Amino acid sequence: MQGVAGEGILIAAGGRAILLQLANPAIGHGVADHSHFADRPLDRLDGTLSYVYATVFGNADLAARMAARVNHAHGPVHSAGTTPEYNAFTPELQLWVAATLYESATHLHGLLYGPLDDETADAVYREYSRLGTSLQVPPELWPADRSAFRHYWDEQLALLRTDAATRAVAHDLLHSRTAPLWYRAALPLARLMTAGLLPPHVRVLFDLPWSTLRQRRFNRVMSAIRLIYPRLPRLIRHWPKNHYLRALNAAAPAPVV
């Protein structure tokens, strides 16, 4: 699991995960009504990566500290008029958030490296469950195995919906005008990667343009990544994880003696 989750390239699947979360009506409306993360995309990225790396690679104290930070940040975010209503303590919706992180990361990893053997894939699945169970997801709610997860995933995909509000959040996220210049310069590639990685029907839900030409561009980008990225030294491929862990450990309160 740690070899999979530590790959920095998996950050490229972040847009896919976020749009899948937004397409859940309760989550999407909670974000649209009470969150401004589309105006601060780097804050959202920083928070998500901090939580993932702390939960997977950190010690128990660091993981607990990051879970508390996430709970505090998500507390005010809720939605009314959707079923179920969204708040930070809705286990079924937190399960969907964690599921999108797991499925998006392993989907991109499979495109780059090919399928994992069953033993490794099962270990990755068990470890990724901690992204949910460290928050409000009871262990018994997380699907028992990868087969059960696939059934759950397919069911949830069929329930996804968008409307003008959630599509506007996605558009603002993918066309940010407030982010730093370097981030905005990377957005055309991010839009291509996000749209190309999404299930086709979810791409349609968000009115993301797609065509044979865009598919060819996406295929060329993926071919280039497959050619170059796996050959990079592990230290470079895992730099984001190491960077975040150093920063999180440096910010940890000093032990009481």
> Using CB atoms within 10 A of its CB, is residue 15 exposed (0-12), middle (13-18) or buried (19+)?
buried
Does pLDDT of 80 surpass 60? no
Q: How far apart are CA 24 and CA 1, in angstroms?
A: 27
CA distances from 107 to 50, 69, 80, 155, 178 (A): 21, 28, 32, 17, 30
Query: What pLDDT digit, counting tens, does each position of 148-165 carry?
Result: 999 999 999 999 999 999
Q: Cβ–Cβ contacts within 10 Å for residue 112, how many?
A: 15
b (16+ CB within 10 A) / e for 196-231: bbbeeebbebbebeeeeeeeeebeeebeebeeebee
Tens of pLDDT, residues 83-101: 555 565 789 999 999 999 9
Is the pLDDT at 45 greater than 90? The verdict is no
Contact 56, 3 (CB under 8 A): no
Instruction: Provide mean pLDDT across the span 10-20.
Output: 96
Q: Which of 222, 159, 206 is nearest to 18 (CA)?
A: 206
How would residue 116 be classed by pLDDT, with cut points 50, 70 and 90?
very high
Task: Give residue 212's pLDDT.
Answer: 97
pLDDT reported for residue 41:
75
* Residue 22 near residue 170 (C-beta atoms within 8 A): yes
Of residues 44 and 167, which shows the higher confidence score?
A: 167
pLDDT at 257: 41
What sign has the CA pseudo-torsion 238, 240, 243, 247? negative
The pTM assigned to this predicted structure is: 0.90
Higher pLDDT, 104 or 31: 104
pLDDT score, position 243: 95
pLDDT score at 118: 95
DSSP state letter for 1: -
Residue 102: count other Cβ atoms within 10 Å of its Cβ.
Answer: 21
Confidence category of residue 237, pLDDT binned at 50, 70, 90: very high
Residue-by-residue DSSP string for 165-218:
HHHHHHHHHHT-SSS-HHHHHHHHHHHHHHHHHS-HHHHHHTT----HHHHHHH
Q: Where are the domains of the chain?
A: 2-250
Instruction: Please state, in angstroms and rounded to a whole number, the distance separating the CA atoms of residues 139 and 117.
Output: 24
Quick check: 141 pLDDT over 90?
yes
Are the CB atoms for 33 and 84 separated by under 8 Å? no
- Average confidence (pLDDT) over 50-60: 90
Tell me how far apart the alpha carbons of residues 172 and 143 are, in angstroms, rounded to a whole number.
33
Q: Which two tokens stand for residue 94?
A: 């937190």
Q: What is the pLDDT of residue 253?
A: 67
